[in-house]
Amino acid sequence: MNLFWKIFIAFGIAMTVTLVVAVFVSFSLVGQAFDQRNIENREEIIQQAADALEEGGLGGLQSWLDANSLPVPGVMLMIVDEDGNDLLGRELPPRFGPLLNPRPGNRSRGPDPRPGSRSRGPVNVRPIQFTPSLVAEDGQEYRLLFVRTRITVLGILAWPATQLAVLALVVLAALATSMPLARYLASPIMRLQNTSRALAAGALETRVGEPFTRRKDEVGTLARDFDTMAERIQELVTAKETLLRDVSHEFRSPLARIRMALALAERKASKSSQSDLLRIERETERLDELVGEVMALARLRSQPAVKTEHIALDELVSEIVENARFEYPKAKLRYEARAVPQLQGNRTELTRAIENVIRNALNHAGSTQDAAVDVNLQEAVGRIEIRVADRGPGVPEPDLERIFEPFYRVDESRDHQSGGQGIGLAIAASVLELHGGRIVARNRSGGGLEVKLELPPDKPERA
């Protein structure tokens, strides 16, 4: 679960619980029966009801009650008969029922409270009655009950299922409040995460940017520091690539003069010096090849896109395998291809990348008759895969990702013996990245290394 949903759920639960508790505590306080004796203008209301009953009987009392059902703001007046039925047919709140039942008085000994009485025997104290009553001429007794009116918010609390309606309203309010709050807290972190991933993938121009860098809190400071770091990294990498490209370019002229001087020296040298001159020539060619690869890598890393064309990848890989068989006649190079559609790509760059991977496998697996390299071309879900597997010594697990870095060698002596410069796989990785693919390596369970090149099918032309 990502951070946004964690924050959203946490705030949602906390606010929902808080609001639910607050609402139901308020309901409990509001719904409690209040003192029937502390009503504003209570005696005047009772007198008006008595006058209406005396003058108009039951009908007069009903008419008066209909016109004065809310005698005080927030208080509703109900008048019930001896059976507990309101004269206007309204439903009596259950919690007010006990108020209609008189509480018995206590039996006690003492003087009769009536004037002139001398009795000291036990007497019955009159039952305590909490609500005023009116008695009609026919002896019917009517009780006056003051009830607090129900609180409504846009009429919602007047629905039949009031508590469920309140709960639904509270949950919706909590979710509506938690959503923007969670987004406000989580969005800059998610933006930083996406930016850091893009930066790690090689998109050095990626920045957090506004509006996050304009924030005045710690998140804004972090976003600004991240952009500053990204700019510095881009400057360093660009300077490194520029230096490699410039130095490699400057090496070309001295190398050309060395080769010309070497050719002249071979004509004048004696037979005893020919072996030394031949060694110098091989090293010069090796240096020239290295300079060419460095320039190719610098060019691939500096260009945003490559010119593409329709390529039959099966034919391209088959041609590369045949060339490798000619170059390594003793090696067992097996090639298997399944039906693969055409794709958009740069033929020259893809050829260079695939050749480098196959040559790397042949060099490290050995060129003897026991050396075996398998090349498989197949279509997977949403991608085309080229797998190159050897039976060589493999690569330590911590170095599997670093073998695609320029000039990185797992074993110095092994790479020098195989003629590797530590740059072929870096070129392959750059070519795959320009084509919207990727290259990964893993050690085989039976020994050896497998390098997988993934390319998107039907890649649209980008230049």
pTM of the predicted model, to two decimals? Answer: 0.50
Residue 314 is encoded by which pair of tokens?
Answer: 């099966």
* pLDDT at residue 310 in the model: 86
Convert the pLDDT of each residue in 188-213 to its tens digit.
888 888 888 888 777 778 888 888 88
The secondary structure of 29-89 as a DSSP string is HHHS---TT--TTHHHHHHHHHHHHHHHHHHHHHHHHHH-S-SBTTEEEEEE-TTS-BTT-
Q: How many CA atoms lie within 13 A of 306 on its CB side?
A: 21
Peptide bond connecting 211 to the previous residue in cis, omega within 30 degrees of 0: yes
Which are the contacts of 264, defined by CB distance < 8 A and separation ≥ 6?
none
* pLDDT at residue 331 in the model: 80
* pLDDT at residue 117 in the model: 42
Kindly report the average pLDDT of the chain as a whole number.
76
> Does the structure show a pLDDT above 80 at 71?
yes
Residue type, 45: I
How many Å apart are CA 437 and CA 429, to the nearest integer? Answer: 9
Taking only Cα atoms into account, the Rg of the chain, rounded to an integer number of angstroms, comes to 47
- Lowest mean pLDDT, pick from 58-67, 223-232, 297-306: 297-306
Report DSSP state, residue 114.
S
* pLDDT at residue 162 in the model: 56
How many Å apart are CA 149 and CA 94, to the nearest integer? Answer: 14
Convert the pLDDT of each residue in 145-156 to its tens digit.
888 776 554 444
Convert the pLDDT of each residue in 94-113 to its tens digit.
767 666 665 554 444 444 44
- Which domains are present in the chain? 3-31+163-197 (no CATH), 213-301 (1.10.287.130), 306-455 (3.30.565.10)
Convert the pLDDT of each residue in 263-292 to its tens digit.
888 777 777 777 778 888 888 877 877 777
* pLDDT at residue 108 in the model: 43
* pLDDT at residue 156 in the model: 45
Selected residue with higher pLDDT from 158 and 22: 22
